[in-house]
């Protein structure tokens, strides 16, 4: 039995490698509080912040449609739709609540004030009653 000829090459010595320590950046995603599941609106926007719950959003494309409908309104500084929570947040220079509600009704969505109590769902058992 013969051994393979390495032609004068040495096998790598993995035990000779030493791991380097790294300094963790405070903005790194692994730090506490650096990662969030939802992006936040910048806090330096002037004006007033309004928020609603949007009914009728079934997908991310619906959320984009809501954002685009509101973004086209005059006086809107910033718009954000949080699809997972069905929340619409709008920063505007003046009171544009009526315009936002009108624009989204035309787009096929309904709004309710975020502070308003949720409408109780009708029992599914009542669907089958005469």
pLDDT at 68: 92
Rama region for 95: left / alpha / beta (φ>0; ψ in -120 to 50; rest): beta
3-state percent breakdown (helix, strand, coil) of the chain, nearest 5: 25, 20, 55
The CATH number covering residue 76 comes to: 3.30.70.100
Angle between helix axes 60-71 and 97-107 (nearest 10 degrees) is: 130
The reply to whether 75 falls in a domain is yes
The reply to whether 16 falls in a domain is no
Domain containing residue 62: 57-113
Closest by Cα among 130, 91, 90 to 111: 90
The reply to whether 6 falls in a domain is no
Entry pTM: 0.54
pLDDT at 22: 63
The reply to whether 38 falls in a domain is no
Q: How far apart are CA 9 and CA 11, in angstroms?
A: 7
The reply to whether 95 falls in a domain is yes
The reply to whether 43 falls in a domain is no
Cα 89 to the center of its chain, rounded Å: 12
Asked whether residue 4 carries a pLDDT value surpassing 50, the answer given is: yes
Reported as a single tens digit per residue, the pLDDT across 15-43 is 665 666 666 555 555 544 444 444 454 55
Q: Give the number of domains in the chain.
A: 1
The reply to whether 120 falls in a domain is no
The reply to whether 119 falls in a domain is no
Closest by Cα among 39, 114, 110, 111 to 80: 39
């Amino acid at each position: 039995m013969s051994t393979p000829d390495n032609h004068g090459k040495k096998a790598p010595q993995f035990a000779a490698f030493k791991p380097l320590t790294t300094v963790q950046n405070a903005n790194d995603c692994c730090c506490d509080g650096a990662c969030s599941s939802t992006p936040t609106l910048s806090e330096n926007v002037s004006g007033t912040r309004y928020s609603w719950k949007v009914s009728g959003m079934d997908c991310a494309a619906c959320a984009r449609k809501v954002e685009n409908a509101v973004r086209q309104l005059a006086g809107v500084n910033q718009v954000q739709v949080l699809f997972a929570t069905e929340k619409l947040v709008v920063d505007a220079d003046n009171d544009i609540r009526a315009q936002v509600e009108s624009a989204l009704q035309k787009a096929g969505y309904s709004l309710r004030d975020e502070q308003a109590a949720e409408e109780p769902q009708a029992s599914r058992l009542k669907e089958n009653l005469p």
